[in-house]
Amino acid sequence: MFTFAQSSGDRVKADAVVLITSTGCRSAETRTVGTIIEGGFILTVAHGVAGQTTNQVTTANGIVFEASIAAIDIDLDLALLTVDGIRDSQLSAPLRLVAAKPGERVSFVAFNDQQQFVRDAKIKRRLKINTQDIYLKNKTTRPGLEVELSVSVGNSGGPLINKSGEVVGIVWSTSRVVKNRSWATRSEAVNALLAKASTNASPINSKALACTG
C-alpha cells in the first residue's frame, strides 16, 4: 500500500495515478508515473517504457499488474499501456483529459520511491516546444505547457490535474536553466494516440523501440 504526502492545498483524487516500474534496458530499473484514462489505458511518457522488457504497474492499492505498450509516439514522448486479465473494480475510475488554461493552479502527482505525493503547480503558458524525439535524433515540435514546478528523476509522466480532477498535461522534463520550471505535453496531444490504440492500429512512430538514454 502506498503512503501519501500532501505538500499543500486540498487533497486531490490521486487513486488513478500509478507507479510504473520498467526493466530490461539497463542494470537499474526505470521508474515513471502513469495515469488511468478512458478505455482503461494508462498514459505515461514514452522514454520510460520504450525498449523495456517488462513494465509493471502498481496501483494506489498496492496491486501489481504486468503491462504492455498499446501505442507510443516517440516525437511527443507519449505512450499508452494496457493491462490484461483484470476486473474494472481493480482499477481506479479513469481521469478525463481536458485543455489547460494559462495561469490556472493545478496539482502535480508523482512518486518518491513508494510514496505518492501531490505538489502545487501553476500553468505559466501554452506554447509549442521545439525539441527532439526521445532518441535525440530528429527535431520535433510538441504542443506544450510551461509549468511553475520542480520535478526530479523518476517523476516523468506525472499528470497535472486541475481543480475538477481532470488531466491537463503530462510532465516530461524540468528546466536546467530556470529554477522551479518544468515542461509538459498538453492533454489534447493524446487524442491521436488514443484513436490508434482503440482501433488496434499500428502504434504511431514506433519503428525504433530501442532503449533510450
Determine the pLDDT at residue 3.
45
Collect the ranges in the chain with pLDDT lower than 70.
1-13, 87-89, 200-204, 206-208, 213
Determine the pLDDT at residue 12.
67
Determine the pLDDT at residue 31.
95
Determine the pLDDT at residue 11.
53
Determine the pLDDT at residue 6.
47
Residues 129 and 66 occupy one common structural domain: no
Determine the pLDDT at residue 8.
43
Question: How far, in Å, CA of 115 to CA of 18, rounded?
Answer: 11
Residues 114 and 137 occupy one common structural domain: yes
Residue 82 resides in a domain: yes
Residue found by looking up cell 484513436 in the block: 195
Residues 174 and 126 occupy one common structural domain: yes
Residues 61 and 115 occupy one common structural domain: no
Determine the pLDDT at residue 132.
96
What residue type is 88 in one-letter code?
D
Residues 109 and 83 occupy one common structural domain: no
Residues 67 and 44 occupy one common structural domain: yes
Residues 80 and 109 occupy one common structural domain: no
Determine the pLDDT at residue 7.
46
- Contact (CB, 8 A) for 97 and 188: yes
Residues 84 and 125 occupy one common structural domain: no
Residue 212 resides in a domain: no
Q: List CB contacts of 176: < 8 A, sequence separation 6 or more.
A: none
Q: Which residues constitute the domain of residue 78?
A: 14-93+191-198
Tell me the pTM: 0.91
